[in-house]
Each structure stands twice: as C-alpha cells, then as structure tokens.
Amino acid sequence: MELLFLALFSLHILKTEAVVGSHWCYRSQKCEHPECEDPHQWHLTDAACNGDRQSPINIVTRNVVYDKSLKPLTFEGYDGKGSSKWNVENNGHTVKVTLDASPKVGGGGLARKYKAVEFHLHWGVPSLQQSSPGVQQYIPGSEHSIDGEKYAMELHLVHIREDVPNVAEAKKYKDGLAVLAFFIKVDEENKNYAALLNELENIQYKGLSAQMDPLPLSSLLPPKEELGRYYRYEGSLTTPDCFEGVIWTIFEMPIELSLPQLSQFAALHFDGKNSTHMIENFRPIQPLNQRKVSWSSASIVLPPAKLLLLLLTLTYFLSSPSQ
C-alpha cells in the first residue's frame, strides 16, 4: 500500500513538473498541444512575462509624446550584402534569419550603436480565397497596433549593443537590445523578398534550416527617406523569456507584400509533417502601464520634394504682380 502511495505521489510530482516546465506556444497550437503554455500562461514558464514593461502594445496616437531628439536614425552597412550567408530557420515559432552582425544602427535618440543579429516575422491567417471579385481576405497578424488597427504582418529586426558578443550578454543590460519593427501590408508583389520566400520550401518543418546569399537589409525595408517617421518606447521581447530591456522603434511606413507572398509563410508548420500550420504566431497586446510612447520629430518635417514645391509656390505668388 505504501509503495502504491509513493508511486502515485511520484507521478503527481512528475506531472506537476511537466506542466510547470512545459513549452510555450501560441494559441493556434493549443488544439494540437493542449498541454503547452499559451500567451496568457507564459508567466508560468518565465516570470518576466508578467512584468509591467511588456510588448507588444497598442499605440494610441493622441497620447504619444512629441520628442524633438528623435531624429532620423543612421544606418551603417544596410546597403551592403555582407560577407556571410544568412541562415534561414524554422524554429517552431517563426521564420528566423540569422545575420552576420555587420549592419549597425544609431542616432535617433539611441544612446549607443546597435548591431543587427537577426530578423523574424509574425503573421495572422493569409487566405487566397476571395469573398467577392477583387476583395482579398486575411486575418491581421502584426503584434503592435496603431489606434487598435493591426497590419497583416510585422517584421522585427533585432539588434544588440555593439559592445557585446551575443544576445545572452546583451540581456545583462537594461538597454541591451534595440528592435526595429516594420508593419507589412497587403499590396503589390515585392520582388526583393523573392530570394527569402524561395527558401521557405526548404524549411517547412520545425528544426529545418537553409543557407541563402545575403541581401542588403535596406532592400527588405521601406525607402530610407521614409524612415524618419516612427514611435519609440521601452518594452520587452515578445516571446519568452520576455526580457525587459528592449528599445522599440515602430516605423509608420509599412512594407508591401502581395497576399500570395504572405500565404507562403502560412504554409510552414509549427512542428513536423501533418502538424498545425504556422498561423497567428503573435502575442496579444500588453498593458502600457506607466510608460510613455514618443513620436519622432521627423514626423512633422516636410519631405524634401514637398518642401521644394512649397518654396516654388511661395516664390511664384510673391513674384506675381498684385491684381
């Protein structure tokens, strides 16, 4: 009898440890893995996920604070291809592309330079089905939102302080990471993404990876002259361990991809063959709490072309004879 009791008690302990130590997942994976911890339970895997400086957030534009120090960022090495191949991986949560850490970003209110180490994406449920001619349907999957409105996807370009060797070391500092976030909207086909999208066929399942020739990072982003408009706040990583030491820059100008291009991401799988398709891999909005969201000074500066047009118009009216 005592042996039976000890056996049952041991099973209970093992089961409890399994639940506490179970792997985190997205809500879309719960049907296949009901034991995994979805975003509302991530604090059970990492206590930091229950912190008060978490990401993503909803940016309420009427509440943002104009900050004149937020000038356009400086991008170093973004126009070059780099010397090392990119590693494209299905890590069971997203598509992660590891870089060679040569591109850097600075300025724009950042106290130091940060080097790019990887980028990944979050998306919803792209669908090629059309409810009516000319109408494309999809469920948005960006993590951040603007006034409650989400985009189809979101690209996160992760940087670490240039004086540290890796992400683990960067996490020892309260300003260890800087993430540049870009919304992705459904529009025209973006040929600059063709090489990356071609590799998705080789990483259909968790754990698979492929090598691809490096691209200029700038080719995957909006034009540089459009990157002066952005929001800034202090937050966290959007997946466990939910490290709170991330400086977020959310750009207003979105990237464009076609719906068929978006659908290629949703053809991936969270796990092995016949597993759930990788959809809705985003974290829900987190409370802003006492934080503030700043708005870049470039947001109110006229672009050069419009400024020139304004000057020419004023010159014309000033030089015209009075009627």
Q: Which residues pair with 96 in a beta bridge?
A: 89, 120
Q: Please name the amino acid found at residue 321.
A: P
pTM for the whole structure: 0.85
- 156 residue type, one letter: H
* Residue 106 main-chain phi, psi, to 5 deg: -155, -175
Considering the domain boundaries, does residue 283 fall inside one?
Answer: yes
Tell me the mean pLDDT in the region 299-323: 51
pLDDT digits (tens, 9 = 90+) for 236-292: 999 999 999 999 999 999 999 999 999 999 999 999 998 999 999 999 999 999 999
Q: What does each C-alpha distance from 150 to 144, 244, 285 come to in angstroms?
A: 7, 23, 11
CATH number at residue 239: 3.10.200.10
For 214, how many CA atoms within 13 A lie in the half-sphere containing its CB? Answer: 22
Query: Which among 93, 122, 156, 269 is annotated as catalytic?
Result: 93
> Cα(57)–Cα(146) distance, rounded to whole angstroms?
9
Within a domain: 21: no
Q: Is the residue at 27 inside a domain?
A: no
pLDDT score at 131: 53
| 134 assigned to some structural domain | yes
Task: State the pLDDT confidence band at 195, using cuts at 50, 70 and 90.
Answer: very high
Q: 3-class DSSP state for residue 306?
A: helix
Written as six digits, the tokens of 299 are 């947001």
Share of the chain above pLDDT 90, in %: 78
Query: Does residue 256 lie within any of the structural domains?
Result: yes
Token digits for 4? 């039976």
Active site residue 122: no
pLDDT number for residue 45: 93
> Would residue 15 count as lying in a domain?
no
Q: For residue 135, what pLDDT is reported?
A: 59
At 7-27, the pLDDT tens digits run: 444 434 333 333 344 689 999
For residues 156 and 179, the answer to whether their CB atoms sit within 8 Å is yes
Each residue's pLDDT tens digit, 34-60: 999 999 999 999 999 999 999 999 999
* Proportion of the chain above pLDDT 70, given as a percent: 82
**Number of domains, the chain:** 1
Identify whether 24 is part of a domain: no
What DSSP letter does each residue of 194-245 carry, written as one string?
Answer: HHHHHHGGGG-STT-EEEE----GGGGSS-GGGTT-EEEEEE--SSTT--S-
pLDDT in tens, 138-160: 899 999 999 999 999 999 999 99
Any domain includes 310: no
How much is the pLDDT for 11?
39
- Residue 301's pLDDT is what? 44
Q: What is the CA radius of gyration of the chain?
A: 23
What is residue 254's predicted lDDT score, i.e. its pLDDT? 98
For 316, the 3-state DSSP assignment is helix
Domain extent, residue 241, equals 46-302
CA-based nearest residue to 259, from 154, 121, 152: 152
Across 212-228, average pLDDT = 96
- Predicted pLDDT of residue 12: 41
For residue 6, what pLDDT band results from cuts at 50, 70 and 90?
very low
pLDDT of residue 4 exceeding 60, the answer is no
pLDDT band at 313 (very low <50, low <70, confident <90, very high): low
Q: Strand 153-161 and strand 114-123: pairing?
A: antiparallel
